[in-house]
Every structure is written in C-alpha cells, then in structure tokens.
Structure 1
Amino acid sequence: MGRPRTPLLDRERITTTALELVDAHGEFSVPQIARRLGVQTGSVYHHVDGRDGIVELLRERVAQHIDVTALDLRPWDAALTAWARSYRAAFAAHPRAIPMLMTSPVRAPRVLEQYERAVILLLDAGFPLPDVMPVIVALENVVLGSALDLAAPETMWEIADDTATPRLAEALDAIGDNRADRAFELALEGFFVQARRMLETYAQA
C-alpha cells in the first residue's frame, strides 16, 4: 500500500486539536489529543516537546492573529494602541486559553519577536530600560483582562432584591450597550495617560 496523502499526525493537527480542547474545556492533555486523533500517546510526543511544547504551539497559533506590523507605526502611543487592539481581538477569540498561556513562560520565537519589537519601540520613545517591561506588562494586563471580559456574560451582576443594593441596580440599568468595549477604552486611556506622564518626567529630569 502507498503512503496516505494526508499525514496521520503533524504539529498543525496537534495544535488544532489542543486548541479545540482548550476552547471547549479550558485545558488539554496529551492523551486527550491522541484519542481525538486516533493515535497512540507516544506518537504525539514524536512531534512535540511534551505538554510545554504544545502550550507554545498554542501561543504561536493565537498570537499569529496579532498585527505585529502595528509596532512599526509612529508615534509610539499610536503603535501600542493598534497593537493592543489587535492583541485583544486575537485572545478574545480563545479566552479559555488565556489562563494557561499567561501562567507559563513565553518561549515561542515568533512571539518573543513581538516583544523584542515592543521593547525597541519603547526604548526609541525614551523610556528607560528598567521601565520598559513594566509598561508592556501593564498594557498586557489591560488587554488580557478585557479579552476575558469580552467572553463574560453581558450581565455579570445578578441582583435578587433591588432594595438591598438600589444604587448598584441603577448603575447596572444605566450601563447600555458595549460595556466591555467601553471599559477597555477607559482602561487603555488611563494606561496611556500614565505612560505619557512617565515620559514627561524623564524629559524633565
């Protein structure tokens, strides 16, 4: 018999299957992936560097939808704004992957390259080296928190008795549409107010 036209197992199929499991359950295991693909667990390990290797494949798969060219824009705050919005959209498509990806070290070369470009952007803008990573991490906190918020129910507060928390009930009634988007824009604006203030302080020193 000749070889099958489509390989039974490869890194792309492993990544796709792992992401399907994470999207459905928030987690995956190598035996689960093997069962779904109809292969032995050991066969999966021939293609990936264990579970950590699959996590990095997931990171690359999600991050490939981030527009890294946004980091070529100028001025720096326009670049970070565009990058943040693209970053949020990419992770909002797979919110259950966020806890896993954000609690494991980043090793994927293509993802590290994005951080390299963000670091260069901030250094060129005038941020001192010790403050560069705190600025990036602060922006990520805004982005990833908002990506999770996009996946949350529109109504996150359920009040059984309006009389017990009347002002909260009024505030919830007044929210209107696009709560998550409005909250993200507010947090993003606050981030940039502080980041620009930091730059002004450096310039005056």
Structure 2
Amino acid sequence: MQTPEKTSRIGRPRTPRLSRKQIGREALAMFEEESGLSIPRLAERLGVRQSSFYKHVTGRDDIIELARGSLADRVHVPDLTAANLEVLIRQIFDALRTAYSLAPALLPLLLAQPVSHPAALALYDKFAEAFLRVGVPDHLIIPTLETLDSAAIGASLDAITMESAWDIPEPHRADFPHLSAAQQAVTTSHMDRFAFLADVLSVGLKAAISGGT
C-alpha cells in the first residue's frame, strides 16, 4: 500500500509576522538612524507591505506611541529608594536625558501627544512613587514629572544644536554690553549646564513644597 504524499498547507502563519513591539522597536531605530518616520520606509525596514501595519496599529500617532514605549524600555532606572529629593531629581533628569538623546528627531512628536504606552506609564509611575517617598505632595507629582520631562527633552535637543545660541557680531558687541559680558564669562568659567538645570529644578521644587504651593 502506497503512503499518500504529504501536501503543504497554505494558510495563516502560526505566528504573525508583525507585532506592536516589533513595530515600536523598528520605528525607534528609524528615528535614531534616519531622523524621521516614513511609514513606507518603515514597512520596507520590517520587510512587510505597508497595509500590514494597519492590522496592528491605528495610524501614525499609534506608531509614535509605540516608539515612545520602546524608548521607555531603554531608560536606565537607577536605584531610587535611597535618594533624597536633590539626588532623585538629578537621577531622573539624567536618566531621561540620556534616553532622549538616542532619538532627538522623535522628541517633538512625543510632545504633541499624551503619554499612553504602558511601558512609559509604568516608568513614570516608578518616578511618582519615588517622589512620594521623599515627601513631594500628591498635587505636585504631575507638575514635577512634566517639568522634568520637558527639561530633559529640551536639554537633549540643546545638546545637538549649535555650540552657542548667541551670535553677537563683534562690531555690535558694545550695543549689547550686558549680554556680551555674560557670554564672555561663560567661556572663562566652566559650568555643567545640565547639572545646573537639575539643581535649579531641585531648588524650585523644594521652594514649592516648603511654601505649601
């Protein structure tokens, strides 16, 4: 008796070719490597048709949020349990700034939509818990997180722009004496501007807490 030949079955693959996590990771990589997002180009990078995306995402904003989630996964969260307020602000600011510097082209898009990715929400929840632990009142938690986030994004963008934001032509320096003197002082007195920004945020938060804001 002859054994019937096996026939291949054509149908859906057992596992989908795409997942939301894959899309987020590749979108983030595209922002890092190509400084922008093109859905046709993203499909090409993933080796799928563009129509395949819409089985997993609702549109461009959804892809951006998936990229945010992938970026949140790459934030190095230090031990926040033993930190006082000043150290905690510095730790969180540095952690966010370091992560944001990986994909500066993504940052303006993140500012244009609310945080909704579970990985990003979990990250901010850890930060909120740490701030509560060191005595930040409930009603100041969200303003603190928003301020730190905005400062970290701004610092990340600032780090890749021109060396100086002030361009005063030499013949006109006398027309702006105070600004010119301040610019000269910066060149002769080294300051870590990111540490300075974190310290300013810390002082401001402490003042808000002590003042009962």
For the aligned pair, the TM-score class normalised by the smaller chain equals 0.7 to 0.9
Tell me which of the two structures has the higher relative contact order, counting C-alpha pairs closer than 8 angstroms and 6 or more residues apart: 2
State the identity as a percent: 27
Alpha carbons of 1:177 and 1:138: their partners in 2 closer, same or farther (altered >3 Å)?
farther
2:173 maps to which residue? 165
- Of 1, 9, 23, the residue aligned with 1:14 is 23
* Superposition deviation, residue 187 in structure 1: 1.6
2:142 maps to which residue? 133
**Residues 1:193 and 2:210 aligned together:** no
Aligned pairs for 1:1-205 within 5 A = 9-11=18-20, 13-23=22-32, 26-159=35-168, 161-166=169-174, 167=177, 168=179, 171-172=182-183, 174-176=185-187, 182-202=192-212
Q: Which has the larger displacement, 146-155 or 15-24?
A: 15-24
Q: Which has the larger displacement, 100-109 or 11-20?
A: 11-20
* Alignment check: 8 A CA contact 1:59 1:101 kept: yes
Distance 1:17 1:115 in 2: 23
Gap runs ≥5 in structure 2: 1-7
Alpha carbons of 1:187 and 1:48: their partners in 2 closer, same or farther (altered >3 Å)?
same
* Alignment check: 8 A CA contact 1:70 1:83 kept: no
Distance 2:92 2:199 in 1: 14
Distance 1:99 1:156 in 2: 19
Deviations 1:111-138 (A, max 9, x none): 1112222222223333332222112212
Relative to the length of structure 2, the TM-score reads: 0.76
Distance 2:189 2:182 in 1: 15
Distance 2:9 2:181 in 1: 70
Deviations 1:20-79 (A, max 9, x none): 443356532323312343422111222334323321221122122222344333323322
* Alignment check: 8 A CA contact 1:66 1:83 kept: no
Distance 1:12 1:178 in 2: 46
What is the aligned residue count?
199
Normalized per residue, which structure has more helix?
Answer: 1
* Alignment check: 8 A CA contact 1:71 1:80 kept: no
2:3 maps to which residue? none
Relative to the length of structure 1, the TM-score reads: 0.78
Distance 2:62 2:161 in 1: 29
Distance 2:180 2:209 in 1: 40
Give the structure with higher Rg (CA): 2
* Alignment check: 8 A CA contact 2:21 2:70 kept: no
Alpha carbons of 1:10 and 1:119: their partners in 2 closer, same or farther (altered >3 Å)?
closer
